[in-house]
A and B are shown apart, each in its own frame.
Chain A
Amino acid sequence: MKETNGRIQFECREDLPATAMSLGGTAWNRTGSWKFLEPGYQNLTPPCSHACLTDMDVVAMMRSVEAGDWDAAAQTVIAVNPFPSITGRTCPHPCETPCNRKAYGGGISVRDVERQVGDHKLRSDVRPELPPMTHERVHVVGAGPAGLSAAVALRRLGHPVTVHGSTPEPGGLLWCGAAADGLPTDIVRAEIAWVAGLGVEFEPTGRFTRDEIEALGPTIVSAASPGVSAASPGVAAAAPGVSAASPGGAAAEPGRDVSPSDGAPSLPDAWGADGPSGADPGRAAEAAARRGAAIPDAIRHGRLAAHTLHAERTGVCVPAADPLVDQGASPEIAKFKALHMASFQRQAPAPCEVLDGEMRLHTLTAVEHGLSRAGATSEATRCFKCGTCTDCDTCFHVCPDVAISKKAGGGYVIDLAHCKGCGVCVEECPRAAVHLRKST
């Protein structure tokens, strides 16, 4: 028996095995040349993340909760939203409308999971990693959700931040939520204290004139001040019109059209095409008022304004408008029919505690009491993680050519020299995270 380039040659009958069995490998046979289609990994955008008013990576949060890593879940949320305990109670949760789970046991209570994550953040005082404050100080005019969100984002980028409010205590719209929707005041207070804990300074300066703002230096204006223009250099306006209407409680309309049939939000972004610094605040305020101002909207715009200002001042761009796509995901939304239901069980949602009908007549407290921690874990487990590779190993196991191997830090690599392009991995992937494209 001799071996040439990995191929075994039998030289006599005695070389033959007792039965048809491999005596060597088949790596010499580079079957990759047979293919005209080749598989590749790319996450799609889950419908929940696409609909999220704060651009949250919902699936990442779910995966951390499922794994029992509540700190990591909190980090995922506060990367875009410093107030998950508030939005976890008041957000109109447009994320839940297009949930693919709806068709297979019942939609996921994303907001209730976020609420548990937020409460964990407060309980365990989970904070982001904060760089030293090496950049110039930025002033934020307006201490509502947009202003505070901008402040947190700036602080995370290394700016010292001073927030100027018109009332003795920061919070603005957050307090309106507390008043109108039964949002517990201790939650609002704790969330605001958490921001202060990051080193964000607050001054109850009162009202500013335009000249006073320009004198401050780099500033974000996130207050309803029709006279203030955001056009001057170093001044960005965040979430205009925050004083309008009720905060993001159950009565507030979802800020964006979240129909999964539409690839992009159909309602105009507050800033128009030119981005924040070129926006006309009047028009933006009108747009904001039209879609119903909501806390999560304010949070998102505060963060975007902070990133824009940072980019203007430092020349370093912070990609944040669509975090998933920035991380390499396709903007294509993962639809139900792209998922592989054979990999999932039809499971009913975890029970959510709600006040019964009679009690609602006699109290002003919140109707929804959310999920238990175990319930949140159960929901996170039930979540399909649409369009997202979860390292489930399905592709690894089903590949008939053993052409898929695991990467050290997670994920897989396909040996295209041996992959025949059969597409079994694509067909079997539970979450539509592997795709076939024309072979090059």
Chain B
Amino acid sequence: MTPNPRTSDATTTAAPAAPPAAPAASRTMILTGNQAAAWGAYLARTQVVSAYPITPQTTIIETLADLMTKASWPSKFVNVESEHSAMAVCIGASITGARVFTATSAQGLALMHELLHWASGSRLPIVMVDVNRAMAPGWSIWSDQNDSLSQRDTGWAQIYCSSAQDVLDTVLVAFKVAEALNVPVMVVEDAFVLSHTAEAIEVPAVEVVDRFLSPRKAAFKLDVDHPAAFGGLLSPDWYQEVREELHKSLLAVEGEMEKASRDWERLTGRAYDAIQTWHMEDAKIALVTSGTVSSTAMDAIESPWARRERVGLVQMRLFRPFPSARVRAILAGVPKVAVIDRNCSYGAHGIWFQELKSALYGLPEAQRPQIYGYVMGLGGRDIGLEAIEDVMRRTIDRDRPEPETQWLGALLPSVPKQAPGCATGGGCCQEDHP
């Protein structure tokens, strides 16, 4: 589904829903991905929110601002003049021991970049929703993953969602994981396709969430009664060790997330894994996707033809830490792996492709799949059923992958320009010219 580019945020947004009423296990509400994100942050009893509006994130903050006015716990919504300041406020608030939430997109996330390092290096369990939006120029408000994936080395955990329910549940799981390990977590959802598309979801009662998520207990905090300085100079004698601890904590996210997901499943019946698979038990081809493309791919692999060709689906949810061991376990011995990347590390490959390839290199050579990389759907171009079928067919048809990542889904034909004075009269000009 492609959003209408002429429709503004405001007109595509359903009115913010009322806060939860009488205690009940849950109730069904029609929420967009963004509203679900706001509800997640609200149900987590977030204490401080600071954010700067940017399409397509804005409705998260609008919904949350409205919900927070009804918060029965001490809470503060801090207006700022930029995303850089928003994250700075989040860092300051989080270091006092508060539960802190923010959200952004694209250029906003890029502007935060320096402070993303500060948040993780300061070991602050901030939870942020990033609504995947393509980077400018040219200006685009539509979805692709380059904004969040290019923050991969900032020390933030990253979880990619594929439905509004997923977004709400993952925000809550993210708080639990973040606060258990003192690492910041980024919850990622696609622009419009998810952020502005409403679906019926289960919104748990506050009491349910309270049983899942207890108030934050900060391991260390800014305390005026016990003054301490934070973020000071760390000499070469100590820096590496402190950073290694951050790395270890980030690696522990995968296990912690699994634990939190099981707790959540016990309360709500809904479970999420770092990697989710369909029809992988005897797959000859594994289709690897992330974000909302996964939902379309779920349909695509159910066609009789795809079933005959034994196409399985691997939905990647956790990007950082990268679940390499699990990737190897799932894909060992699968002959072909096709990776759909709605992003590109320019001059290299699709980013999920790179990460997967890197993980699979840890397999013995005989078990290593052929890995096919496809970049598509940038800047919000739709990745529909046909596009996914194209990916499957290309992978089936070729015994070996192309040496370079394939860009698919071109809307215009490629007609190379005729060189001046070329006698061949158009088409591809291979001649040497005087």
Contacts and interface: CB of A to CB of B under 8 A. Distances in A.
Given A13-B241, A16-B238, A22 B182 contact: no
Interface in A1-55: 10, 13, 16-23
B230 A20 contact: yes
A23 B220 CA distance: 11
B241 A16 contact: yes
Interface residues of A, number: 10
B122 interface: yes
Interface in A166-220: none
B228 interface: yes
Interface in B212-232: 219-220, 228-232
Contacts of B229: 21-22
A177 to B, nearest CB: 58
Interface string A243-286: 00000000000000000000000000000000000000000000
A20 B124 CA distance: 12
Nearest to A402: B227
B12 to A, nearest CB: 41
A16 B30 CA distance: 48
Interface string B122-151: 110000000000000000000000000000
A17 B230 CA distance: 11
A18 B228 CA distance: 13
B121 interface: yes
Contacts of B123: 18-19
Contact of B238 (A10, A18, A22): A10
A413 to B, nearest CB: 20
B233 interface: yes
B329 interface: no
B228 A20 contact: no
A17 B182 CA distance: 12
Interface residues of B, number: 17
A18 B231 CA distance: 11
B251 to A, nearest CB: 15
A21 B220 contact: yes
B114 interface: no
A19 B228 contact: no
A17 B232 contact: no
B415 interface: no
A19 B238 contact: no
Nearest to B238: A16
Given A10-B238, A16-B238, A21 B245 contact: no
B245 A16 contact: yes
Contacts of A13: 241
A46 to B, nearest CB: 37
Name the residue among A13, A16, A21 with the largest chain B CB count within 10 angstroms.
A21
A19 B241 contact: no
A167 B231 CA distance: 80
Given A10-B238, A13-B241, A23-B228, A18 B182 contact: yes
Contacts of A16: 238, 241-242, 245
A332 B91 CA distance: 47
A18 B220 contact: yes
Contacts of B234: 20
Contacts of A18: 123, 182, 219-220, 242, 245
Contact of B122 (A10, A19, A22): A19
A17 B231 contact: no
Given A16-B238, A19-B123, 6 more contacts: A13-B241, A17-B242, A20-B234, A21-B230, A21-B232, A23-B228
5 contacts: A18-B182, A18-B219, A19-B123, A20-B233, A21-B230
Which 8 pairs across A and B sit closest by C-beta, in order of nearness?
A: A22-B229, A20-B234, A19-B123, A18-B123, A22-B228, A21-B230, A19-B122, A20-B232
